[in-house]
Amino acid sequence: MAKVYDVPADELIAKLAEQLKKDKKIEPPAWSAFVKTGSHAEKIPQNRDWWYTRCASLLRKIYLHGPIGVSDLKVAYGGRKQIGYNLSHHKDAGGAIIRHAIQQLEAAGYVTKLPAKGRVVTSEGTKKLDRLATEIHKELVKAAPALQRYA
């Protein structure tokens, strides 16, 4: 059985976002159509379904690095911002987006909070991610049979 570590992140996040769209507890808030993802971003996200992609990315990141807090996730999703002619500096991502997405993942039962440590993935979330990773790995093996030995 393949794990999240064994498959490409972009494929896992894309397929997980498609599954999260079908979940009724994961809904983009009304304000998500008008916000930037942080002060470092110049425009709003161009993808209309960016909320599901961010939720899927957060779930994967919590799986890999948990227990992890919101402040660490703000740093991870931040970026560089150029101000005038000065050197660019790191700016954190917006915290409301991350907090709201994590709260929805908690309501769906994929993430839980450990007191004074941060968020971790529940057994239900781990099963969902590992099953999806196994499915993606099987597709990759069909395309390139040499990958079979890495299962």
* Tens of pLDDT, residues 10-61: 999 999 999 999 988 899 888 888 888 778 787 888 788 899 999 999 999 9
Residue 92: what pLDDT? Answer: 87
Report the domain count for the chain. Answer: 1
Distances (CA, A) of 144 to 96, 138, 147, 150: 41, 10, 6, 12
Q: How high is the mean pLDDT of the chain?
A: 88
Q: Whose structure tokens read 């709003």?
A: 44
Provide the pLDDT confidence category of residue 150 given band limits of 50, 70 and 90.
low
Two tokens, residue 58: 């957060």
**What's the CATH number where 126 sits?**
1.10.10.10
Residue 15: what pLDDT? Answer: 94
Provide the pLDDT confidence category of residue 151 given band limits of 50, 70 and 90.
low
Closest CA to 121 of 34, 39, 62: 62
Give the residue-averaged pLDDT of 58-76: 92
Q: Which residues contact 84 (CB under 8 A, 6 or more apart)?
A: none
Q: Whose structure tokens read 């991610």?
A: 129
Q: Are 37 and 45 a contacting pair, CB within 8 Å?
A: yes
Distances (CA, A) of 33 to 24, 36, 77: 19, 9, 18
Q: Which domain holds residue 35?
A: 4-150
Give the residue-averaged pLDDT of 57-79: 92
Q: What percent of the chain lies above the pLDDT cut of 90? A: 50
